[in-house]
A and B are shown apart, each in its own frame.
Chain A
């Protein structure tokens, strides 16, 4: 496979810069979960994800369902790298009339396949997309990303059950296992335990990876892409705020913008 890992890592670094900058400019947003997810998103778009950047609404494209919609800067930074968003789009993140709504929204942004913001819904939506693809006899694949805190929503397990029952092999989920949710660490708020084991007991194929090791990310995505007999779950162990020292593993940067000084430090660390 001709995957250039270094190139993907460089892209992820650019994305991290834009994530932090757009949140700083907006004065609001969710840096922690964007930074934990971005290596996975870059890995997906850079390898297995089938789409046409010139025709983002191509009906037979793969779907990327970003269920943890508050990590919208991660998605926007990727779409910016692809040329689907321009500088003005990301500079106006969260502002009135902006293409870049606070949470990812398919009505506002070409290249966004789901209107998220309320946790727990994306996996079900992905099942609908996957069933439609199967009915259409299409080989398109459905990729869903959820947060680990999101697994506290009961609907995730309704969907996990349905994916097994209907043997939805064209469906893959990536769980951003960063261990922090809005208020605090998950083990304080509501620990879910072994997520991989839980998906496995629901009938899913499961692979656990370091979600910041691009080799492991690419390898796991390839594994999921090639398994079309059962739904696949990639449990990606990540660090919230990854790449910026004072944000890493820090619950206070779940949903807080960096100030001017913090932005300067962050950009220095990412350079």
Chain B
């Protein structure tokens, strides 16, 4: 199944934020044929004069956005996460290198997108974008947090890449708690002294479920929604390393280069601690219903619980 019908998908939050951002006349939206999926269609319906369709031409879209940013606009350019990757060099050379503040949104990231199969399942976007200097990289976990963090991009001084997800998940935040979020600051959503689970995107919900299950067997986990992968909240990781001393990362992304990669780099250089990674283990996805696929690939709450038990033995 595609997940619970309550709650919201982070792509919905992105679309809602664009609508709210429209009050600022500098805001323009670019889309490459997939506005109905990324939810930029909401902005287009209300503000067609500030919505630019480039057709199925992602490379062109990135540089058109850059040109608009150089002329005082605040462009939000979106397509599927996987297709932003086609324009990786355009993002690198045309947007980030000159420091033009373009906000890119890649929707339908990760394998949980499901039945479309591996060609549509971006599992490397967070990793590749994280290598680009001065590019902020985010992956919110639900609709409300995606909306809040997208709103904050309006006054963000750097270009950014935000991955959103297709599926609805139970909300981690409500209208009040979401206001505490801040780009670049990890959000502690559950506290426990045995292990720190650091997750992003749809895996935050899986991490919460895992933590509840683990509590039954007496293991108390801290759960962090690390919605910003870059710049990584090193202060929080330092504190967790000192107070807890072992980690599990959880992401719907390759274990190479993404959230797990970022956390392990930080730990190795600053405060070595045992770490287990839950993610896509250096393979491509395939077609399947979301739940079946997450089980098959090994990125659900059960995988997180197993990783916690494993890392506790290394503590």
A interface residues (Cβ-Cβ under 8 A, vs B): 59, 63, 65, 105-107, 113-115, 117-118, 120-122, 124-133, 135-136, 154-155, 158-159, 161-162, 165-166
Least Cβ–Cβ distance between B50 and chain A, in angstroms: 7
Contact indicator B54/A155 (Cβ below 8 Å): no
Least Cβ–Cβ distance between B87 and chain A, in angstroms: 9
CA distance A120 to B50 in the complex (A): 25
- In the assembled complex, which residues on chain A have CB atoms less than 8 Å from the CB atom of B97? 107, 115
In-complex Cβ contact of B93 among A106, A118, A136, A161 (8 A): A118
User: Given A115-B97, A118-B93, A121-B93 in contact, is the A158-B59 Cβ separation under 8 Å?
Assistant: yes
In-complex Cβ contact of A107 among B61, B89, B98 (8 A): B98
- B94 in the interface (beta carbon within 8 A): yes
B interface residues (Cβ-Cβ under 8 A, vs A): 28, 49-50, 52, 54-55, 57, 59-73, 75, 89-90, 93-94, 97-99
CA distance A59 to B70 in the complex (A): 10
10 contacts between A and B (CB under 8 A): A105-B98, A106-B70, A115-B93, A118-B94, A121-B59, A121-B93, A128-B65, A131-B52, A131-B67, A135-B28
Contact indicator B54/A128 (Cβ below 8 Å): no
Write the chain B residue with the least CB distance to A128: B67
Least Cβ–Cβ distance between A5 and chain B, in angstroms: 32
- Interface of A, secondary structure class, is helix
Residue in B50, B65, B68 with the greatest tally of chain A CB atoms within 10 Å = B68
Least Cβ–Cβ distance between B53 and chain A, in angstroms: 8
Least Cβ–Cβ distance between B66 and chain A, in angstroms: 6
- In the assembled complex, which residues on chain B have CB atoms less than 8 Å from the CB atom of A117? 93
User: Given A115-B97, A118-B89 in contact, is the A124-B59 Cβ separation under 8 Å?
Assistant: yes
CA distance A133 to B264 in the complex (A): 46
Contact indicator B94/A125 (Cβ below 8 Å): yes
User: Given A113-B70, A128-B68 in contact, is the A135-B50 Cβ separation under 8 Å?
Assistant: yes
Write the chain A residue with the least CB distance to B65: A128
